[in-house]
Structure 1
């Protein structure tokens, strides 16, 4: 397989408090056609890692150290012009909340077409046809291209975000909790759609989630983050069947069984005081 992404010792901190590490020494790799899930609770550094890859960190934050290599190029400190050529064209991203990520005053067809016009210089009937094709691929009737985001359901808006992210057929897709706030039926549809697109386009996919149930469905590899650090990583079946870190085991204890008979346990952080792993 071909390595698409390699992150080495990524460390992120606020500029005003450089000793307070929000992400600390994170290292991972992603190959073409592979799905790696980053899992952990809110504040664990999952989304910050994704934003660092895209060069979209807040101005209040700094990348203190580490490298981000995409197709062998270190993009961690690339200039904005270079990053603009990569975002959307070579790396697509599905952001966490489609209602705030989509512009409410522009039609969804226009928003899908923006990256096509910018990166591929498409226009006119060719652009319109490509937008229609993308909407069909994600299960939305092409005539909805003229709709505004508030005229679509939550699941449809998420599908529009997926269409935007794959418009230029990127080599890699970052999906930041793309099924958050969706009901379980729609969630299953979105996960199947992403899995099908990954296979058809042979994309590498970095999938961010809180949910180990989702991890079990789609991941090849899993990375568990806690308080900005990776505490466990490996092939998904190995981690699910034989978790080594107490935090991983605690997250798995939060996943209900199919029959609903397994008692759910709150996460016990007692191991933190002992430093036991």
Structure 2
């Protein structure tokens, strides 16, 4: 396999991933989830709270809680590089904890859902940004300070705020610090778990624009978790719709938003208000669960996932 062929393969492939509690392995919280992400592209995973979006993302990073387990499936990561003997493509589910630590933050990074609680309140934001730079790149002293300053500038925060503690920053600034931490080592894949939750509309737009610019500049693949179809319309290349731990529909943004096939996707889109405020808000209609032909799990598949 040549380097060009390896680079052309998907950056990330989830193949039939299922997750269950260890005590009740037959109770699947995520069931047979498969999709891929290409370098420089954004795949949005959308669905209600409890649909399995965050669990799916945590399985990529090997960060499932000790009470949960990956029941089946593969998580294939391809960082686009080759050495003399083997491809860089590997199944992350087969790696031990020490090997995963080398990948987390360096090749795959994650922006967690709550910026208010994800930062350590007793450490400066500069120190927290610098941890991964020291761990993965070995930066110290002036080189480390310069890189921290550069990252803060990149996300629109004055470098002087490196000595600030999280409670001295606004919610939007903390979210930008989380982004700076996640991109510090220029990862190949960025996972963003509802990074604009609880932010006002103006700050949300700024964060989304920043993430899109960084994705383009660094040719990152991005897995973006959200329940907001407005966000999907802004940043997605591809969309995966999840319901009760399963994918019910997937496709390009134009396919899913412009011509949804599954009744659940249609119900979610019906909940999106229009810009003029003339469209009445509707609760999600679950009548399709009873009225449609169902598969073994009780879901009616629309477009093949």
TM-score range, shorter chain: over 0.9
Q: Deviations over 1:77-103 (max 9, x none)?
A: 310011001000000100000121100
Secondary structure of the equivalent of 2:94? coil
Retained in 2: the 8 A contact 1:2–1:32?
no
Q: Which residue of 2 aligns with 1:195?
A: 212
1:56 corresponds to: 63
2:212 aligns to what SS in structure 1? Answer: helix
Distance (whole Å) between structure 1 residues aligned to residue 292 and residue 184 of structure 2: 46
Q: CA RMSD in A?
A: 0.8
SS of 2:190 mapped into structure 1: strand
Match of 1:144 in 2: 161
Counterparts of 1:9 and 1:226, CA distance in 2: 16
Q: Report the TM-score, using the length of structure 1 for normalisation.
A: 0.99
Name the TM-score, length of structure 2 as normaliser. 0.90
2:249 alignment partner, SS class: strand
Tell me if structure 2 keeps the 8 A contact 1:154–1:182. Answer: yes
Secondary structure of the 1:232 match is strand
1:109-145 CA-to-partner distances (Å, cap 9, x unmatched) read 0000000000000000000000000000000000000
Which residue matches 1:3? Answer: 10
* Structure 1 consecutive aligned stretches of length 4 or more whose deviation exceeds 2 Å: 274-277
Matched, 1:42 2:49: yes
Equivalent position SS for 1:3: coil
Distance between the aligned counterparts of 2:237 and 2:45, measured in 1? Answer: 11
**How far does the alpha carbon of each residue in 1:237-259 deviate from its partner, in whole angstroms, 9 at most, with x for none?**
01101100011001101111111
Measure how far apart 1:274 and its partner are: 3.1
1:135 to 2:174 alignment: no
Aligned length: 277
What are the within-5 Å matches in structure 2 for residues 144-223 of structure 1? 144-223=161-240
User: Partner of 1:89 in structure 2?
Assistant: 106
Question: Could you list the per-position Cα deviations for residues 37-69 of structure 1 after superposition, in whole angstroms to 9, with x for gaps in the alignment?
Answer: 000000000000000000000000010000000
